[in-house]
Amino acid sequence: MRLDKFITSDGRMSRREAAGIIRRGLVTVNGETVRQADFRVDPEADAVAADGRRILWRRNTYIMLNKPAGFVSSTEKGKTVMTLLGDEEGRPGLFPCGRLDADTEGLLLITDDGALGHLLLSPRRHVEKEYFFECDPPLTAEGFDILRSGPDLGDFTARPARTESIDGGAAGRIAVTEGKYHQIKRMVHAAGSEVTYLKRTKFGPLELDPALGPGEWRYLTEGEVKALRDAAGVTDETDRTGEKK
Ligand code: URA
C-alpha cells in the first residue's frame, strides 16, 4: 500500500496533508525517514510514524460519502456509489451500509466491517436516520401529525417519527428508526404530499460533514467509529488493530 494512503487511513489527515508531512521529512518507516508518498508499506508489518506519533493500521475501513443523485447504493456493476471512491473502490469487502434511492442524496456509510454494518441495520437496534425533504404540495399540520404518529403504509405501520416543518411545510426534517424500501417517500405520500427532494443528514450518531460536497468522501474519525459502535451496542471491546484491549 502507498505510504500516503496508509497515513490517511486512520482518518486524522487528508491525502494532501499526508503528502506535505512526507515531503517535509516528518514520516518514518521502521525508523527511517521516507520522503516518497508512493513508497510501498506493508500495513501489517511496517511501523509508520508521523511527527513521532505511531500510526496504527486500521483493519477496517469506514467511509462517510456525501452521495450525489444518480448513483445506486450497491456493489454491483454500473453507476454505483462505489465508483466514487477512487483508490478505495477496489478494496475487498467494502459495501454501502444501507441503501439510499438513486435520486436520494446525502450521508452514506461505506465499510468493510460486516459485523458492525449488520448491527447498524438491524431493525432491533432502532438506529435513527434523519432526512431533509422537500415536497409538493406543502405538507399541512395534519400531514405532519400523520408522520409523527407513524402512518400505516399497507405492508407495515411505520414507527412514530420525529419531524420539523420548514418553509410552511414545503420542506421538513424527519427522523425514523427503520429503513424500509422508499420509507420516507411512502410516509410523506401517506401524509398527503410527494417528496421532490430527499437528502439524508444523519445516520445514528454520524452527521453529514458539511465540508463534503456531493460525491466527496472521507474516512471516519476514531471518535465517529466509536460512536457508531456504541450506537450499535457493540460490547466486544476490541481496538482499531483488532487486538483485545
Ligand atoms: N426513504 C426513501 O424513501 N428513500 C431513501 O432513499 C431513503 C429513505
Provide CATH 3.30.2350.10 ranges for the chain.
62-207
Phi, psi of 165 (to 5 degrees): -90, 135
Measured from the Cα of 185, ligand 1's closest atom is 3
Residue whose CA lies nearest to ligand 1 atom number 3: 182
CATH H-level superfamily of 3-55? RNA-binding S4 domain (3.10.290.10)
Q: Show the cell assigned to 103.
A: 435520486
- Largest Cα–Cα separation, the chain: 67
Confidence of residue 240 (pLDDT cuts 50, 70, 90): very low
Give the mean pLDDT of the chain: 91
Q: For position 106, what pLDDT does the model report? A: 98
Res 92: pLDDT = 78
Residue that is written with C-alpha cell 405538507 in the block: 139
Flag whether pLDDT at 11 surpasses 80.
no
**Assigned CATH topology for domain 62-207:** Pseudouridine synthase (3.30.2350)
Q: pLDDT digit string (tens) for 109-131?
A: 999 999 999 999 988 888 999 99
Catalytically active residues are 101
List, for residues 140-174, the tens digit of each pLDDT value: 999 999 999 999 999 999 999 999 999 999 999 99
The three grid cell numbers given for residue 136, joined into one nine-digit string = 409538493
Query: In angstroms, rounded to a whole number, what is the distance separating the alpha carbons of residues 9 and 13?
Result: 8
CATH 3.10.290.10 domain span(s) along the chain: 3-55
pLDDT of residue 139: 98
Ligand 1 pocket: which of 97, 101, 188, 197 to mutate (most atoms within 8 A of CB): 101
Upper half-sphere CA count for residue 169 (Cβ side, 13 Å): 16
Distance (Å) from CA 61 to ligand 1 centroid: 25
Peptide bond into 137 cis (omega under 30): yes
Q: Which of 216, 195, 212, 213 is nearest to 103 (CA)?
A: 195
pLDDT at 91: 76
> Smallest Cα–Cα separation from 173: which of 134, 219, 224?
134
